[in-house]
């Protein structure tokens, strides 16, 4: 036999033939650090095995008188070793399956706990975004009041939405108070959360919307007491709007770090309380009997409305830059794009309505001796032209937001969230602005018709979103862990240990068939990570491919 031939009984011969021992030896070589000897060329050990097989084959061809009894003994030893390895592999497989089943049962128990979550636990996730519902409902009442074509029952329908809005506002106050009473840590957490904190001003906006509705539907139909009360509440609303706007922005800038890739129009939301002061002043000033008080209300409305719009305008630029560099937001976040319609819409409705009241309330010597009448008329004309200018901007943002939702509606990839009320509230501002522009242009009929069509669409949209909200509560899309604006995100961690335990079941593990399938997959993944041969198998897969190609 040649000196280079390999004996059938040698370990290298058996390791190249037997699958189990070969895998073990490959793992040994794979994990062993590279060792080199002086004067010896370092080579791939698996290539040596392959060369050994080739050399043995050639030597057996040349030497047909080899020891057949030794070969038979080697075959018998191989068969016994193969049986033992098969038994061991079967035992390991049964143990792994038992571990997988135990993990899956643990996941199922956790999912059962989530499926049986009590209403008290669900109230824990009643966030500030629920006040978007009252914002939208009050906005519908505001639109119905400004419809120019009056008919029997329209006032009653507006009153219905107005009363419903007050009931829903009381419901929201009670529910969020229960959340903070039962879970006190969530109060501070709601102010520090990167998303939920943005919606805290929604409560102030809802309060201001109710005051606007009272000015529209109640002041001129009751006594002097309500007029005086509403004057006081107007200044209270101004103070709340300024304090909350500045306060929320300061908290955000002190505790959070935002990047341009995360930019959404929801960053404008803390400025929204300022944006409804102008419409509030425009609706209240005509109901005030004292012209001096009415003038003070109008002037303060111009100042605060200007603050809100200019702050929003600066954030507009960041939003446009984000769209230019990061493309459109994800489907679930696109309803927030309609928030960009609100600043221009509310500013139009405010300045045009206030400008139309200026000639009736300015004194004779306003802005100069004998200049009162001229100042009032010039102010009204400037307000009308500024309203026309901003109306085009609001329409542009509205069309961009609608176009961004085309792919979402076509593929049906949007899950319900309370931010769906963004389909309603900012567009109520655009509708009231459309009616204000029609009045400024001497009751332009085509523009009034456009506003009426938008009103019908808004009412239908509100009904759809309101119905979807009840469905979402039933199927656990809202009032559920990790499903709303209080979920863990952006490095922000929830304060409660219970919330951190629930965080493991994010993204669909809610008791559905799909959720259980993901739970099974997760349990198998975790079990594989603990197996001692898992990494060896992963490394061996690529190795087998190399070995087969070399063979």
Q: What is the pLDDT of residues 97-106, one digit of tens each?
A: 666 555 554 4
Domain encompassing residue 461: 133-485
Q: What is the DSSP letter of 330?
A: P
Q: Is residue 148 part of a domain?
A: yes
Inter-residue contact 359 to 380 (CB < 8 Å): yes
DSSP3 helix / strand / coil % (the chain, rounded to 5): 80, 0, 20
In a domain, 7, yes or no: no
**Structural domain total, the chain:** 1
**Which one, of 461, 456, 463, 435, lies nearest residue 447 by Cα?**
435
The residue written with tokens 């955000």 in the block is 252
Residue 350 maps to a domain: yes
- Model pLDDT, residue 60: 39
- Domain assignment present for residue 412? The answer is yes
> What does residue 489 show for φ and ψ, rounded to 5 degrees?
-165, 155
Which DSSP string do the residues of 426-481 spell out, in sequence order? HHHHHHHHHHHHHHHTTS-HHHHHHHHHHHHHHHHHHHHHHHHHHHHHHTTSSSST
Residue 209 in any domain: the answer is yes
Q: Burial, 90: exposed, middle or buried (Cβ in 10 Å; 0-12, 13-18, 19+)?
A: exposed
How far is it, in rounded angstroms, from Cα 60 to Cα 5?
9
CA dist., res. 456 & res. 438, Å (int): 17
* Nearest-10 crossing angle of helices 372-404, 425-440: 140
Angle between helices 277-284 and 291-326 (to 10 degrees): 150
Query: Which DSSP string do the residues of 55-105 spell out, in sequence order?
Result: HHHHHHHH-TT--HHHHHHHHHHHHHHHHHHHHHHHHHHHHHHHHHHHHHH
Q: What is the pLDDT of residue 138?
A: 96
Look at residue 491 and tell me if it is in a domain: no
Contact status, residue 371 vs residue 364, Cβ threshold 8 Å: no
SS3 at position 397? helix
List the chain residues with pLDDT less than 70: 1-83, 95-115, 412-413, 489-551
What backbone torsions phi and psi does residue 507 show, to the nearest 5 degrees? 70, 55
CA 160 to chain centre: 32
Task: Give 73's strand partners.
Answer: none
Answer whether residue 393 is part of any domain.
yes
Residue 195's pLDDT is 87
CATH number at 460 reads: 1.50.10.150
What is the pLDDT, as a whole number, of residue 508? Answer: 46
Residue 36 lies in a domain: no
342, 268 in Cβ contact below 8 A? yes
φ, ψ dihedrals at 249, nearest 5°: -65, -40
278 half-sphere exposure, CB direction, 13 A CA radius: 33
Global pTM value = 0.69
Q: Cα(226)–Cα(318) distance, rounded to whole angstroms? A: 43
Backbone angles phi, psi at 324, to 5 degrees: -70, -30
CA atoms within 13 A on the CB side of 78: 18
150, 254, 415, 543 from 191: Cα distances, Å: 44, 11, 25, 54
Instruction: Work out the number of other CB atoms within 10 angstroms of the CB of residue 236.
Output: 13
Reading phi first (left if > 0) and then psi (alpha if -120 to 50, else beta), residue 479 is in left
């Amino acid at each position: 036999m040649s000196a280079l031939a390999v004996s059938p009984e040698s370990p290298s011969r058996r390791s190249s033939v037997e699958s189990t021992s070969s895998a073990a030896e490959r793992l040994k070589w794979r994990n062993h650090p590279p060792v080199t000897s002086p004067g010896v060329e370092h080579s791939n050990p698996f290539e040596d095995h392959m060369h050994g097989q080739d050399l043995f084959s050639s030597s057996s061809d040349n030497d047909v008188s080899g020891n057949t009894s030794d070969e038979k003994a080697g075959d018998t030893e191989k068969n016994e070793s193969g049986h033992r390895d098969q038994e061991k592999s079967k035992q390991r497989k049964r143990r792994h399956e038992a571990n997988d089943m135990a993990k899956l049962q643990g996941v199922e128990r956790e999912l059962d706990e989530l499926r049986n979550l009590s209403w008290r636990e669900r109230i824990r996730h009643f966030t500030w975004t629920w006040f978007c519902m009252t914002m939208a409902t009050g906005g519908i009442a505001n639109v119905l009041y400004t419809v120019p074509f009056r008919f029997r029952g329209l006032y009653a329908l507006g009153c219905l939405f107005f009363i419903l809005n007050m009931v829903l506002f009381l419901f929201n106050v009670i529910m969020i108070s229960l959340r903070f009473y039962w879970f006190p840590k969530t109060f501070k957490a709601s102010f520090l959360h990167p998303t939920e904190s943005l919606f805290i001003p929604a409560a102030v906006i809802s309060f201001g919307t109710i005051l606007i509705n009272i000015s529209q539907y109640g002041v001129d139909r009751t006594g002097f007491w309500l007029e005086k009360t509403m004057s006081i509440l107007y200044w209270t609303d101004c103070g709340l709007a300024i304090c909350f706007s500045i306060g929320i922005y300061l908290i955000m800038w002190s505790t959070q770090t935002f990047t341009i890739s995360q930019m959404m129009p929801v960053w404008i939301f803390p400025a929204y309380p300022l944006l409804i002061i102008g419409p509030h002043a425009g609706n209240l000033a005509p109901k005030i009997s004292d012209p001096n008080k009415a003038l003070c209300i109008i002037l303060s409305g111009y100042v605060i409305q200007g603050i809100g719009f200019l702050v929003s305008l600066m954030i507009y630029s960041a939003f446009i830059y984000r769209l230019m560099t990061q493309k459109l937001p994800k489907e679930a976040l696109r309803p927030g794009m309609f928030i960009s319609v609100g600043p221009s819409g509310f500013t139009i409705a405010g300045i045009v309505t206030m400008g139309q009241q200026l000639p009736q309330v300015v004194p004779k010597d306003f802005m100069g001796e004998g200049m009162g009448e001229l100042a009032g008329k010039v102010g009204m004309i400037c307000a009308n032209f500024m309203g026309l200018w901003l109306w085009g901007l609001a329409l542009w943002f509205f069309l961009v937001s609608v176009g961004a939702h085309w792919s979402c509606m076509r593929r049906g990839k949007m899950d319900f969230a309370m931010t769906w009320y963004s389909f309603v509230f900012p567009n109520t501002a655009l509708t009231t602005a459309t009616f204000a522009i029609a009045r400024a242009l001497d009751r332009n009929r085509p523009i009034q018709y456009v506003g009426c069509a938008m009103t019908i669409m808004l009412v239908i949209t509100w009904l759809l979103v309101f119905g979807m909200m009840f469905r979402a509560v039933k199927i656990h899309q809202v009032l559920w862990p990790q499903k709303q604006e209080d979920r863990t995100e952006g490095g922000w961690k929830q304060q409660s240990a219970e919330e951190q335990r629930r965080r493991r079941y994010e993204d669909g593990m809610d008791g559905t068939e799909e959720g259980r399938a993901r739970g099974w997959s997760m349990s198998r993944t975790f079990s594989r990570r603990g197996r001692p041969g898992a990494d060896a198998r992963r490394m061996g897969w690529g190795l087998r491919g190399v070995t087969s190609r070399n063979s």
